[in-house]
Structure 1
Amino acid sequence: MKQRVFGITGWKNSGKTTMTTRLVAELTRRGYRLATVKHAHHDFDIDHENTDSWRHRKAGAGEVAVVSSRRWALIHELAEAAEPDLGDILQKFGPCDLVLVEGYKREGHDKLEVRREQSGKGGRLSAADPHIVAIASDRSEDEGSLPVFHLDDSGAIADFIEKHMGLEDKKR
């Protein structure tokens, strides 16, 4: 079966992370197995200074796996500015019902555009992106044929994603 991928996009401080976490909670409550990808535009670290794995990386290891009985993580150091494609990252996931992708504005998967009046950033992404299939906003929006949801209505947005992604047929 083809991997189902749905994005949450918007300008900085529009509420993408809040929307993503609400949708993960709602969809997992409904019985779906989800995976997520978060795109960061800056240097980030999931390991903290002076932990054993941090010391391994600082010593020169190109990949470090941290493994316990409850979770594991693989940290891969990139040579120069060789950010992997989203498709390469998606191939690393195990089986799941849906992958929610936060960020990756310019990728070709279907997306929900999140808008928050106070963020005051940029224009409407939907004007230039045919892969935006719905809007979530904290204000009234006129988007023609695109469905518009209130930013806080994660239940209705999850219903939309279920139908749009063909998840409603999954036996729970």
Structure 2
Amino acid sequence: MEERVKRDIITVIDNLLPLLRRTPVDAERLKELSNHTIHNASIYQDSGSVKIAIVIYALYKLKLRGKDCPKIADHLKNIRAMLKQGRHEEFHRATNTAIQYLSNIDKKIRLYIDEVIKSAQIQKGYKIFDHGISIAQAASLLGISQWELRSYVGSNIPRDLIPDRVSFSERLENARRMFQ
């Protein structure tokens, strides 16, 4: 596992643990962390990043539905310790155990896993598109639909690429100039 991936996962867990101690849990902050980890999973394409993204997204969904996960902090501390010590196999086992724990609380965990993976694929497709590859090719490369990718691309156009609005009078004046 790359060092920067490892550091980022540790930082995310360090930010997550205090959130879990709060009552009620700050769902917006949990969502931000979830989005951050999904973004990292799409960039690094690392199984550790994907698993952490799944854990945090599942936690977010569970907390939104008012479900309690009393032992998840212990699981996260264990995951962090394994990662910090460089025990990668134990880290992967610990993340699998955390996912299993969450799936015992909510049977919809499989849906959350699929959502995280799909979101990471779409974000990766956007990055490919951003580098000049067509939407059709990017979608085909990643096995996602063009519609999903177009929807994401359309909602993430940088503001400086959106032209300023032209007033009605300016449009009328431009039209008159064209026909003179």
What's the TM-score once normalised by structure 1's chain length? 0.29
- Structure with the higher fraction of residues in helix conformation: 2
Higher RCO, Cα 8 Å, sep 6+? 1
Of structures 1 and 2, the larger Rg is shown by 2
